[in-house]
Amino acid sequence: MKITDKTALAALEPAEVMRWFLKLTEIPRPSNHEEKIAGWLCDFAKARGLDVYTDETRNVFMKKPGQCGGEKAGTVLLQGHTDMVCEKNRDVTLDFFKDPLRVYAEDGKLRAEGTTLGGDDGVAVACMLALLDSKDIPHPPLECLFTAAEETGLDGATGFDASRITARKMINMDSESLHEIVSGCAGGVRTDLTFRTRAFFLTKEDTGLEVSVLGLAGGHSGENIADGIPNANKVMGRLLCALWEQMPFRMYTLYGGAKDNAIPRECTAGIALTRKRKAEAVKFLTKTFETIRSEWPDRHKGARLEIRDTVPLRAWNELFTCKIIRLLGTVDNGVFEMHRSIPGLVGWSRNLGVIQTLPASLRFVFSTRSDRPSQIDASCTELSGLGEIYGAEVKHYARYPGWIHREDSALRELWMQTFRDKTGEDMRNLVIHAGLECGILSEKCPQLDIISVGPDLSGIHSPDEALDIASLGVFWNVLLAVLDKLCKKQ
């Protein structure tokens, strides 16, 4: 049964968390635009007499004394980010800057109609709010850090004045698997390759085609990079390179993907060519796409190619077109190397996440990840070299450190034992190929014993995002039990 009524949704267990999560879905919070959620959080704190601090990066930091026996226990830092990846299906009319998400529950999952849900990392925010609002839940003194702009470069954590943190234990709640506890992560960097563009008038013999690769699964560019998910930008590169071998054409637009940390689901290219070769081009592109799609497993069979007629007035010249499609078709993307000491973990990767056609430029945005700074350096050097060869301006930015795994962690052992006591099941301890704010905060506060945990979330960074409601209940109960145990370690 599909549940859309807000009252019924708020009654879903754990209700004390669910009601705050639903409130978050009504507050716009795209990355780098967290003003509304930051203001709302400050009002929340002031209404409850909590110590609150906010900064120019839109981070919010609250403190609450221990209660119900935890008054003299050691302080615990809880942390999560307020921003969300704003992705939606093409046919969805929703303004992420103004409109509430259309949330519903079905088959034990919480979702949003045609958009991302914001469980990444609304779960953490809702859990912290529930604890900060409570009067009868035993917990130690709490420091709650709500960071901004995590999804676009961990900027909030980077800009936060960590000297305000007094805790020695930190629970980050930005993980997506109930049975996994994360104790290390990769570092990364973003790279822009920007080309200056100039368009030229077409002749009367020319016409246009808009070629779109649609319906790919998408996913997180770190955690899902080894899952065999096709990158729509790279698929387009393969199509255009193949077409270039058959006939001349000129491009006039190219855009794909929305976030560098998401594997692109869609890509569209505008091309101009002679009218007499249009039908041939359509036939060739259709056949080539079907060949490519036949290489993918069944879960990607919903991908499709759409081609429609256009009438462009101008297009880039053939030399520039050739440079762009050669770069698009040949630049390395995906997994470069598996981790050399942790079986099954990706060690080094790159994602071509965004292509944007702007009024006088064309921009490619890459995300490189590795726990080895030398490999990140190597990727930057390679992309700088490609920029020099192809004539692009290159910018490397938003670099962040990895989080080094600690062999001994009392907090990790406490969480895993508590989970085992509550569920009768074991957790898997792992290091992930994704950026977490834990890396930045551990570098700033080496004294912190840090873990990253969370309920089951699937399809993050895509409109397929879903929160498993039952797992949220288990997660909340384990969190409360861990805090209760820490109250008794005074």
Q: What is the pLDDT along the chain (490 residues), one digit of tens a residue?
A: 899 999 999 999 999 999 999 999 999 999 999 999 999 999 999 999 999 999 999 999 999 999 999 999 999 999 999 999 999 998 999 999 999 999 999 999 999 999 999 999 999 999 999 999 999 999 999 999 999 999 887 999 999 999 999 999 999 999 999 999 999 999 999 999 999 999 999 999 999 999 999 999 998 899 899 999 999 999 999 999 999 999 999 999 999 998 888 899 999 999 999 999 999 999 999 999 999 999 998 888 789 999 999 999 999 999 999 999 999 999 999 999 998 878 889 999 999 999 999 999 999 999 999 988 999 999 999 999 999 999 999 999 989 998 988 889 999 999 999 999 999 999 999 999 988 999 999 999 999 999 999 999 999 888 999 999 999 999 999 999 999 999 987 5
- According to CATH, where is 3.30.70.360 located in the chain? 189-400
Report the pLDDT value the prediction gives residue 490, as an integer from 0 to 100: 58
Instruction: Provide the CATH topology of domain 6-186+403-487.
Output: Aminopeptidase (3.40.630)
The residues annotated with a catalytic role in the active site are 83, 150
Cβ proximity of 354 and 328 under 8 Å:
no
230-281 residue pLDDT tens: 999 999 999 999 999 999 999 999 999 988 888 999 999 999 999 999 999 9
Report the pLDDT value the prediction gives residue 238, as an integer from 0 to 100: 98
Q: Any idea which residue has 């909030």 for tokens?
A: 156
293-326 residue pLDDT tens: 999 988 887 899 999 999 999 999 999 999 999 9
Report the pLDDT value the prediction gives residue 11, as an integer from 0 to 100: 95
Instruction: Provide the CATH topology of domain 189-400.
Output: Alpha-Beta Plaits (3.30.70)
Report the pLDDT value the prediction gives residue 220, as an integer from 0 to 100: 87
- According to CATH, where is 3.40.630.10 located in the chain? 6-186+403-487
